Amino acid sequence: MKQLAVTEKKALLFLLKLLLLLCLLKCIFFAYNYSLTGGWSLNNYQNITAIIGWSLLYDAVTLAAVNLPYFILLLAFNKRNVNRFAQSAMAAAFATINAFVVALNCIDIFYFRFHLQRSDADLLYVLRNPFLEGNLVVFLLIVVSLVSIILLGRVLYKGLITITNKSVQGRTFILTNAVLAVTIILFLATGTKKILPTYPLTAVDAIQLPLTQNSFHTFIYSLYRKNDVVIPAKQYMTEAARKALFSIDKKIDGVASPKNIVLFIMESVPADFFDSSSAYKVQMPFLDSLVRSSTYFSNAFSYSYNSNKGITAMLAGIPTLTDIPLYHSNFTSINKTGIGEALQKNNYSSSFFIGDHYDDFGFAKCSKWLGIQQYHSMEAIPGYKQMEQHSMGLHDEYVLGFMQEKLKTMPQPFFAAQYNISTHYPNDLPKNFKVNGANTTPPMKTMQYYNDCLQTFFKEAALQPWFDNSVFIFCSDHWAQPHTKVIKLDAVESFRIPLFIYEPGNPTGKIEDAPVSQLDILNTVLHYGGITDSIVSYGENLTNSPLNPQRTVYTKINGFLYQAINMEYVLGFDALQGKALYCYNYKKDAGKNVNLLLASSHPEVDQLIQQMKAFLQAGVRHYRHKD
């Protein structure tokens, strides 16, 4: 009996140490991202208790689910003549799984500030770049991480092989099996909805949710659902009522004389860089002069925080409702208006230019999916191996120079999109570039570099015969931190991006204050392309006059949390449970301290909730091929 107790104790201590390790990682996650989230909105003792309780529960259940099969197998090994290879293989397999559980939770400590949620299936589509294009620092971090995981796996293996040997010697681990089984049974018996990684929202605020989650749980759940529309098909209202509030059926009123269209997709550029009232206004004389001759949209918002969702929003006019990129999912047959296909009907040629390796982030697939005829990546540029590179690929000057030469030979009218990369983290700069001004952050410095690259491009482009009959559209793919150390998220400001239209033959020099979105780019491009067809789009034409100052635009924070933003309010909505979580008058309540959902009824808030429901209902219906 005493030997049995010692054996069970060894197994239970092994699991307890794993649980304590996950708790330690959660504490580091909390501290490391504290300033980013504005202190996690911790308001009272009950709030903190709920977070700790849910965090322990999900970590414990995750470990139970991972390790129960191992201890069940040990029952089969009991007093059996099992060869050493089988014992070692089983111990190694479960050591690897447990190491992966720990590794994901460790990765999210640092990855959270880029992804702003726990790991999901999208991680599989962004891992390639750090391995292939990373600089020395990134490479060293990867090496250190891999070595740490291997060492952890070795420690776990030693613990598991010891337990395995005890089983072969006749120890049964009945108590350990019972503890793990009861943990899982009680978890499921009190409501299977708790399998949803977002279930703790019943007790915590949306911004606090990552503190309660286990990264392995969110990743596996997302992987299981990766080809599904993540949000459920809820019928909030009749289709007639939905279409009255939000419709994806649009009619384009194209110009009589189609223009050459050049779209500059600016990587990770926040609106702060263009805002003279911001501490992060960048010294960029050329772009500032261009803006003064353009129509600048001062209330432009990105759809999400991710490049692979931003490109779909801009070039397809469709919001991504899946965890993985839409063009990687099972929904590629969705009813859509491909920007290249639509323009080709009006005799357009089309090209996409980027300094990454071919099909990094799946952008080549996306371009092909949307009917863009030519895709030019790093490998297409002569002598690229001798050119100075950013961690992500070639610096912008080389890509823009190559693009300049290609545009000279492209049949007119043409559509060309250039996706720059030099402003992407880690904000590498060419060795010989000189920064202007003091107190500039790394992202600001790379924006200065991009400004100079564009100045060189436009100086030569202005001499070309195609220039005067052209329109240039600038839009960021998503907001990013303007400072790499002073970091804070905001429900509204963290989606603000620069968006402006420059037309050499018609310099406007005006500022448009109505809310607009990345989703408006498709409609606007097709307008300048002279298209007069009906299209599928979630956006509007930015040249419409006047734009609706009362318009609502939509953003996606993560797999479940969507926002509706207008000129005064921001609404947060849980699409899984179909309920509003918060609403703030951000104009009057800049700190977003007063949740209007907790106050008396506000007709404006009720209207915003209905608009959000209409948007989500339209999206799910569209994805399920009903529209």
**Is the pLDDT assigned to residue 110 strictly greater than 50?**
yes
The closest alpha carbon to 23, from 211, 152, 179, belongs to: 211
627 band by pLDDT with thresholds 50, 70 and 90: low
For 475, list phi and psi in degrees, rounded to 5.
-150, 135
Indicate the range of 459-463, 491-495, 600-604 predicted with least confidence: 600-604
- Do residues 310 and 363 lie in contact, with contact meaning Cβ atoms separated by under 8 Å? no
* pLDDT on residue 500: 99
Q: Bigger pLDDT: 5 or 544?
A: 544
* pLDDT on residue 216: 95
Cα separation of the two ends of the chain: 67
Rounded Cα gap, residues 281 and 272, in angstroms: 6
* pLDDT on residue 557: 92
* pLDDT on residue 149: 82
Give me the mean pLDDT over the 523-540 stretch: 97
Q: Is 417 exposed, middle or buried (0-12, 13-18, 19+ CB in 10 A)?
A: buried
* pLDDT on residue 75: 81
- Do residues 15 and 63 lie in contact, with contact meaning Cβ atoms separated by under 8 Å? yes
What percentage of the chain has pLDDT greater than the value 70?
Answer: 93
What percentage of the chain has pLDDT greater than the value 90?
Answer: 70
Q: Provide the token pair at 265.
A: 């997709």
Average pLDDT, the chain: 91
Q: Bigger pLDDT: 83 or 238?
A: 238
The whole-angstrom distance between residue 480's C-alpha and the CA centroid of its chain comes to 11
* pLDDT on residue 131: 46
What 8-state DSSP symbol labels residue 496?
A: B
Rounded Cα gap, residues 64 and 41, in angstroms: 30
Q: Bigger pLDDT: 444 or 168?
A: 444
Domains and CATH numbers, the chain: 2-224 (no CATH), 270-470+477-548 (3.40.720.10)
**Is the pLDDT assigned to residue 264 strictly greater than 60?**
yes
The closest alpha carbon to 301, from 556, 47, 17, belongs to: 556
Q: Where are the alpha helices (DSSP H) in 169-194?
A: 174-189
pLDDT tens digits, 377-389:
999 999 999 999 9
**Is the pLDDT assigned to residue 172 strictly greater than 80?**
no
Q: Provide the token pair at 470.
A: 């052209």
Indicate the range of 26-35, 448-457, 510-519 predicted with least confidence: 26-35
For residue 491, CA distances in Å to 77, 108, 353, 407, 512 come to: 54, 21, 32, 40, 22
The closest alpha carbon to 580, from 527, 616, 541, belongs to: 616
**Is the pLDDT assigned to residue 520 strictly greater than 70?**
yes
pLDDT tens digits, 470-498:
999 999 999 999 987 777 789 999 999 99
Rounded Cα gap, residues 25 and 577, in angstroms: 29
What is the pTM for the complete model shown? Answer: 0.85
Rounded Cα gap, residues 538 and 81, in angstroms: 64
Indicate the range of 187-196, 354-363, 420-429, 510-519 predicted with least confidence: 187-196
* pLDDT on residue 141: 66
Residue 546, preceding bond cis, omega within 30 degrees?
Answer: yes
**Nearby residues of 409 by Cβ (< 8 Å), 6 or more positions away:** none
HSE value, Cβ hemisphere, 13 Å, CA-based, for 615: 27
pLDDT tens digits, 117-165:
898 877 777 665 544 445 555 566 667 777 888 898 899 999 988 887 7
* pLDDT on residue 429: 94
Q: Which residue has the tokens 């999900």?
A: 58
User: ∠196-201-203 over CA atoms, to 5°?
Assistant: 125
User: ∠470-496-32 over CA atoms, to 5°?
Assistant: 135
Rounded Cα gap, residues 489 and 36, in angstroms: 6
**Nearby residues of 124 by Cβ (< 8 Å), 6 or more positions away:** 223, 324
Residue 69, preceding bond cis, omega within 30 degrees?
Answer: no
* pLDDT on residue 46: 74
Residue 270, preceding bond cis, omega within 30 degrees?
Answer: no
Q: Provide the token pair at 55.
A: 């965090």
The closest alpha carbon to 539, from 435, 618, 456, belongs to: 618
